[in-house]
Structure 1
Amino acid sequence: MSVEDENVDAVGATASPLSHFGAEVRLERERLGMSRAELGKEACCGYSLVAKIESGDRVPALDFAETCDRVFPHAGGRFVRLWPLALRYAFPPWFRRYVELEWSATAVRMFHPLLLPGIVQTEAYAREVLRTGRPTNLDHLVSARMERQRILTRDDPPRLWIVLDEGVLRRAVGGSDVMCGQLERLRALADSPPHVVQIIPSSIAVYPGSGSPFGLLSFEEGPDVVHVDGFPKGYVLAESEDVASATSAYDLLAATALPPDESAPLIDSILKDHFS
């Protein structure tokens, strides 16, 4: 059963939570007699970003929502409460259901044979990846991806387990500077319990599930779900047979990959030999 289309357009584009968030910012700012430049100074951002947030054209950072709650006398914590819903609607309709599930997951397992998953991409790496689709809203897409990563820095982060093909580490996305920053980020993650990073070495040419990136989400309550990353859009599967197949495939991938204590030195070696 595919669940990615479930209630994706329950709120129209003109009244989406993202647009509503922006409208509320503008209402409170004007009520206070504050200019966009003044709000931008409080939020450590520019006039143009405030304008884009107010028009619903840019996802707000959590820091921006916190600033609004601090600056606007009648906010009452409203902007931080609105922020998760606004973030969800910053993504394409087919991806919103996954973002919602990811936000509540207690464990996230991912496999990718070609790229670093979005959840661990640096801003520079994400920009290069997203740029390939020639979007007209590149800054918006990058901001949304970076804000999605907030789940890893909150007080109760999910356990992240990533299995990657070694080729992912060697593929020069954006050049040496971009890759250096990205591999340093991955290396830091590998050293941060309870997260796990495993690399399938290039000496293993064929392995289970090598053709398609996918992931598994686990929750405090309820069954696991599977996310398949595909073109032109990914989808979420919840049928027990699909989840069982994906779990078996992931277990085999983890067994095939180098153990964590050997994967980390491999990241160091590629970083030193190819991108330093």
Structure 2
Amino acid sequence: MANVQSLDPSASPLDYYGWELRRLREAQGLRQGQLGEIVFCTGSLIGQIETTKKVPTREFSERVDAALGTDGVFSRLIGLVLRSQLPSWFQPYAEMEAKAAYISTYQAQLVYGLLQTEAYARAVLATGEPDGLDGLVAARMERQRILEREQPPLALVVLDEAVLHRPIGGRAVMRAQLERLLELGGHRWMQIQVLPNKVGEHPGLAGAFNMLRFDAHPDVFYTEDMMSGHMTADPQVFREASLHYARMQALALSARDSKALIERVMEERYGDQDDPGEHTLA
């Protein structure tokens, strides 16, 4: 008899997901390989998800719901599972971000997480050499679902020009990322401005920060360092941050000029020209 790994469904959302998947699969009289054939994956992957060795995706969850007739059980669970993959110190912010009606962000080093492509996010997250990179990437992509709502949050984004020039993931990844910024900037609920290098000193020199506004919750100010995040609903802090942000918006290029700069950097820096680093000398 095969050795079946026991699971504690109360240990974590991922354990509960795996436990439920095994329970409902067996209730249908399906082996792992049989379910895999139905949802277009291997039986091995089914086993890895059931034993929490792999983190499921939203697409997988939707297919399993259809295959097992589970009325959206796994599609509802997957959001909780993916959120649990975020660092524990970041989870409170992610929960507040998902409820925000207005998001204002200044980013000095990187594209804001909600605006990142999957390839860009993977390159960023890989720098920490995490064990569960796939889960972290999936969790970051899951956060972006708030932008797909019928009424997404209004988003104001100020990016330091350095963000456009830092070649995260290489030329192809950066080109796709800048194309994504141009796409998002075309939505009426999002405004993207670039703070040009020529500005010099400005109120954001201390680093990136986010401000969240809500319809029925105190406003929140958030920043983070290398190891943790810091969130506060102190009204005085929020007022001061709002003043700094307004000054930075005034110093930044207009949305139209920012779009032109992003397009120029995309073509000049990440175009199709040969990369000298890809050639060797004889």
Does the alignment reach a TM-score above 0.5? yes
Q: How far off is 1:222 after superposition? A: 1.5
Q: Does 1:205 align with 2:203?
A: no
Larger mean CA deviation between 182-191 and 100-109 belongs to: 100-109
AA partner of residue 192 (structure 1):
H
**For residues 40 and 254 of structure 1, what CA distance do their matches in structure 2 show?**
51
Structure 2 partner of 1:233: 228
Aligned to 1:21: 17
2:29 & 2:58 partners in 1: Cα distance? 23
Q: CA deviation at 1:273?
A: 0.4
* 1:170 has 2:165 as partner: yes
Query: How far apart in 2 are the matches of 1:143 and 1:127?
Result: 9
Q: Which runs of 5+ in 1 are unaligned?
A: 1-11
CA RMSD of aligned residues (A): 2.1
- Quote the residue 2:57 is aligned against: 61
Give, as a single letter, the amino acid of the residue that structure 1 aligns with 2:51: S
1:50 and 2:50 aligned:
no
Secondary structure, in 3 states, of the residue corresponding to 1:203?
helix
- Kindly state the Cα deviation for residue 166 of structure 1 after the two structures are TM-superposed: 0.5
Deviation at 1:136, TM superposition (A): 1.7
Counterpart residue identity of residue 273, structure 1: E
Structure 2 unaligned spans of 5+: 1-7, 272-282
Q: Secondary structure at the match of 2:151?
A: coil
AA at the equivalent of 1:134: E
Correspondence list, 1:68-147, <5 A: 68-73=64-69, 75-147=70-142
Contact 1:59 1:144 in 2 (8 A): no
Q: In 2, distance between residues paired with 1:13 and 1:164? A: 42
Mark the CA change 1:182 to 1:241 in structure 2 (over 3 Å): closer, same or farther.
same
**Cα distance in structure 1, aligned partners of 2:149 and 2:34:** 29
Counterpart CA distance in 2 for 1:38 and 1:243 is 55
Distance 1:44 1:212, change over 3 A: farther
> Is contact 2:126–2:133 with CA below 8 Å preserved after alignment?
yes
Pick from 163, 183, 187 the counterpart of residue 192 of structure 1. 187
Of 252, 258, 272, the residue aligned with 2:267 is 272
Cα distance in structure 2, aligned partners of 1:182 and 1:44: 29
For residue 198 of structure 2, give the secondary structure of its aligned residue in structure 1.
coil
Q: Secondary structure at the match of 2:90?
A: helix
User: Following the alignment from structure 2 to structure 1, what is the Cα–Cα distance between the partners of residues 252 and 33?
Assistant: 51
The one-character-per-residue Cα deviations of 1:257-276 (angstroms, maximum 9, x if unpaired) are 11111110100000010001
Deviation at residue 179 of structure 1 after TM alignment: 0.6
Identity of aligned residues (%): 39
Query: What is the total number of aligned residue pairs between the two structures?
Result: 264
CA distance in 1 between partners of 2:42 and 2:103 (Å)? 35
Q: What SS class does the counterpart of residue 199 from structure 2 fall into?
A: coil
Query: TM-score by structure 2 length?
Result: 0.86
**RCO higher in 1 or 2 (8 Å CA, sep ≥ 6)?**
1
Pairwise CA distance, 1:50? 3.4
Aligned to 1:254: 249
Three-state SS of the structure 2 residue aligned to 1:197 is: strand
Structure 1 contact 215–227 (Cα < 8 Å) conserved? yes
Distance 1:60 1:103, change over 3 A: farther
Q: Work out the CA distance in 2 between the residues paired with 1:104 and 1:86.
A: 18
Partners of 2:205 and 2:44 in 1: CA distance: 44
- Over 3 Å counting, the alpha-carbon distance change for 1:204 and 1:47 in structure 2 is farther
Higher-Rg structure is: 2
Q: In structure 2, do the counterparts of structure 1 residues 32 and 169 end up closer, same or farther at CA, with 3 Å as the change threshold?
A: same
Please tell me the residue identity of whatever aligns with 1:228.
T
Q: What is the TM-score with the length of structure 1 in the denominator? A: 0.88
